[in-house]
Amino acid sequence: MLGGVATSSATLAREAVATERGAAAENVRPEDAELPEGRFADRELSWLAFNERVLEQAEDRDLPILERTWFLSIFASNLDEFYMVRVAGLKRRMATGMAVTAASGLSPRQVLEGISRRAKELTARHARVFADDVQPKLADVGIRLLHWEQLNESEQDRLHKFFRKQIFPVLTPLAVDPAHPFPYISGLSLNLAVLVRNPVSGKEHFARVKVPPLLPRFIVVDSDGKPYRPEDVPSDSSGRTSYVPLEEVIAHHLDALFPGMEIVEHHTFRVTRNEDVEVEEDDAENLLKALEKELVRRRFGPAVRLEVAEGISEHVLDLLKRELGVAEQDVFHLPAPLDLTGLNVIHDLDRPALKYPKFVPVTAQGLAEVESANPTDFFAAIRSGDILLHHPYDSFSTSVQQFIAQAATDPKVLAIKQTLYRTSGDSPIVDALIDAAEAGKQVLAIVEIKARFDEQANISWARKLEQAGVHVVYGIVGLKTHAKLCLVVRQEADGLRRYCHVGTGNYHPKTARGYEDIGLLTCDRDVGQDLTRLFNQLSGYAPRTRFHRLLVAPRSIRPGLVERIEREIEHHRAGRPAWVKFKVNSIVDEAIIDALYRASRAGVPVDVVVRGICAIRAGVPGLSENIRVRSILGRFLEHARVFAFGNGGDPEVWIGSADLMHRNLDRRVEALIRIADPGQIDFLVELLEVSAADNTSSWHLELDGWHRRHLDADGQRLDDLQEMLMARARRRVAARR
């Protein structure tokens, strides 16, 4: 715990017990008693605990070595984004005097100090895992990540030639002197700080060489001694593959960049800047231009972190800190090579034996039966009953993607309306919407161009949609549109029928292969009416819209969930079955956490499966001893949001786009849909039960923090949820044959 925290876990437990005793003495039910101070974990430090779980995946020696390499890359990329957004935002609020004490009770300065200390501990551990464990094991299987000095003479000679032909022409050395001010250092760029000496005058000068981001992060010297860009390495190569960091190749040729000068010293460094986008738009018409302007400004945000290679000289470091405006607290001293996000190149090697066994998604139940008879009759399949999709076990391409593609070409389809938060530039879904518009259908796309770090790409394909005749709307002023919705209006013999998809994940064919998400295909009349009303609200004016099977933020998700939690308390008091089971990416919202605390105090069992941030303190006597919190990480990114309630023996289950965070519940348009089919309800409840079960491999949140539980008492690995679901999907395929 942080020094200076007003309430430790032990103190909190004592306060909770005392509060409960006081309530009992006054004949007040425990759940109605005042909740203790310090009952929320800090959001930022909880995020770092999540990234530690990612790092523990990299440390797991039972995982294939290239997958461990991949988790090292993810850890580094996650931390980059955390500093660009969360730390940068905290610093900005502190600088403007707008920072306030967090719900955890920590002051802004305490949070920042805790982040710095914890992040430095984790990055040092990350570097050790790479250097002491993963790197040697990669070498054991013929994948060598080497420093320049470890190359033999023949390999160095070949790289000399490769440098002259492929690297040297791209480099631009920038001197710093009275005529040349300190250059702008772009965020996340890798750089060489070079000190050179004029042999005539003896005067020393500083220069900066940027490692070009368009060149490969690592240069490959294959078994034949030939240098390659990583993407050009022969895919059938089975011999030794040696990688050399690009910056080391440049560093050993600095004399070519500074002819006639002596190279005194050189060091690698990397800067992280504030890259969170802030756009205040007064209307949708100006939003595109405002965002484009903001993206230009973002590149020049203040520095929030400086990574330097160990051994950097004090005077060079002082110069960098002074020119970049970085305090010592934000300097990270790390062993070379810096920027291990580049390890994703290693993971992409064509070495299947060193990765997770291949899994091929299957066609979802309810669609597979139709597929065997008529591969194009999606509408008939949906008319026969709601279809629950569970990606990536159920194929995205043979379900959602094909549904939208068929709607685009079906002459009976009159209109398609869809939300788009993130997708790929070459997305077949974008192409289908364009085809539909060009075929004369009414097509509406609610495009969220403020999706963080996808803004530029989203602007590009939003313009492409507009040019094809799609009605592109940028949502409601002041709110991000994060809901995952598609509505297809079709003319049929008995009139117009509306086919709907509501999901938990983005309409992104590439990430759908690696993200775990849930979706529902339905032509239920109530859902069709709900989506029609919601799309009208998003594209026009309908502030008083009411819904049948939807909860929609920012108006009804928080109160709707709190109401249902409170209802479980009443069921429990009446002796009826009562429980709460949530699966989310993050849970921070204090109102919902407090409702869960009250349910726990009343004796209602609560299970929360959370991938990332969690502000709940679990297992505190008198407060949360009935709350179990689990976290699951694996080959797929757990992304689905599911909310289930015992409801007195008639379980109620919702799925949708919303996490339990302030931004989702207050500043975004989010949608949850209630599942109606009893079999689908049973499946989702079972999914949550297995996810939280003690014999399932997961991380458990306890009084003193997160603990991994992946081995049983005999040292055998516990059940892996994702492996169980993959096996289930394979059995379904086998049963059809």
405-410 CB contacts, 8 Å cutoff, 24+ apart: 405/429, 405/432, 406/376, 406/378, 406/379, 407/378, 407/432, 407/436, 407/488, 407/490, 407/499, 408/432, 408/433, 408/435, 408/436, 408/439, 408/441, 409/435, 409/436, 409/439, 410/379, 410/490
Q: The tokens of 366 are what?
A: 């309810």
3, burial (CB in 10 Å: exposed 0-12, middle 13-18, buried 19+):
exposed
| Residue 615 identity | A
**DSSP three-state, residue 197:** strand
Which single residue is written with the structure tokens 């738009």? 281
Given a contact cutoff of 8 angstroms between Cβ atoms, the answer to whether 206 and 197 are in contact is no
Query: What confidence score (pLDDT) does residue 463 get?
Result: 80
The pTM of the full predicted model, rounded to 2 decimals, is 0.89
Alpha helix segments (H runs only) across 189-283? 246-251, 254-257
Topology given in CATH for the domain delimited by 552-736: Endonuclease; Chain A (3.30.870)
Q: The tokens of 139 are what?
A: 């070498």
CA 430 – CA 575 distance, rounded (Å): 52
Is 253 an annotated catalytic residue?
Answer: no
What is the number of other CB atoms lying within 10 angstroms of the CB of residue 735? 7
R_g of the chain, CA atoms, integer Å: 28
Given a contact cutoff of 8 angstroms between Cβ atoms, the answer to whether 46 and 614 are in contact is yes
CA 87 – CA 485 distance, rounded (Å): 32
Task: Name the strand (E) or helix (H) holding 43.
Answer: helix 43-59
Given a contact cutoff of 8 angstroms between Cβ atoms, the answer to whether 468 and 434 are in contact is yes
Structure-derived torsion over alpha carbons of residues 545, 568, 665, 423, reported in degrees to the nearest 10: -90
Classify strands 262-273 and 190-197 as parallel, antiparallel or unpaired: antiparallel
Angle made by CA atoms 702, 705, 706, in degrees to the nearest 5: 85
CA 670 – CA 656 distance, rounded (Å): 8
CA 128 – CA 59 distance, rounded (Å): 10
Tens digit of pLDDT for each residue in 90-148? 998 888 888 888 899 999 999 999 999 999 999 999 999 999 999 999 999 999 999 99
Q: Which residues contact 77 (CB under 8 A, 6 or more apart)?
A: 341
408 DSSP 8-state letter: H
Which single residue is written with the structure tokens 């379980």? 651
Query: What confidence score (pLDDT) does residue 649 get?
Result: 96
Within this chain, domains 368-548 and 552-736 share the same CATH topology: yes
Q: Which residues of the chain have pLDDT under 50?
A: 1-7, 24-25, 225, 235-237, 277-288, 291-292, 294-295, 297-298, 372-373, 451, 453
**DSSP three-state, residue 709:** strand
Q: The tokens of 297 are what?
A: 């400004």
> How far are the Cα atoms of 16, 49, 55, 124 from residue 333, in angstroms, in the given order?
42, 21, 19, 9
586: left (phi over 0), alpha (psi -120 to 50) or beta: beta
Which single residue is written with the structure tokens 């003479």? 153
Q: What are phi and psi of 627, to 5 degrees?
A: -105, 125
Of the candidates 160, 71, 185, 222, the one whose C-alpha atom is nearest the C-alpha of residue 636 is 71
| Residue 679 identity | G
Q: What are phi and psi of 206, to 5 degrees?
A: -100, 140
Q: What are phi and psi of 572, to 5 degrees?
A: -65, -45
Task: Name the strand (E) or helix (H) holding 736.
Answer: helix 721-736
482, 501, 571, 639: the active-site residue: 482
CA 299 – CA 206 distance, rounded (Å): 24
Of the candidates 604, 602, 603, 684, the one whose C-alpha atom is nearest the C-alpha of residue 643 is 684
Q: Which residues contact 335 (CB under 8 A, 6 or more apart)?
A: 127, 131, 309, 310
**DSSP three-state, residue 609:** strand
Given a contact cutoff of 8 angstroms between Cβ atoms, the answer to whether 196 and 266 are in contact is no
Given a contact cutoff of 8 angstroms between Cβ atoms, the answer to whether 445 and 412 are in contact is no
Query: What confidence score (pLDDT) does residue 735 get?
Result: 73
> CATH says 138-354 is which class?
alpha beta
**DSSP three-state, residue 150:** helix
> CATH says 368-548 is which class?
alpha beta
DSSP string, 260-312: TSEEEEEEEEEEEE--------SSHHHHHHHHHHHHHHHTTPPEEEEEEETT-
Query: What confidence score (pLDDT) does residue 180 get?
Result: 65
Task: Provide the residue ranges of all domains of the chain, joining segments of one domain with +.
Answer: 138-354, 368-548, 552-736
| Residue 240 identity | R
Q: Which residues contact 25 (CB under 8 A, 6 or more apart)?
A: none
5, burial (CB in 10 Å: exposed 0-12, middle 13-18, buried 19+):
middle
Of the candidates 702, 610, 599, the one whose C-alpha atom is nearest the C-alpha of residue 645 is 599
Classify strands 173-176 and 204-210 as parallel, antiparallel or unpaired: antiparallel
CA 157 – CA 567 distance, rounded (Å): 74
Q: Is the peptide bond before 64 cis (omega within 30 degrees of 0)?
A: no
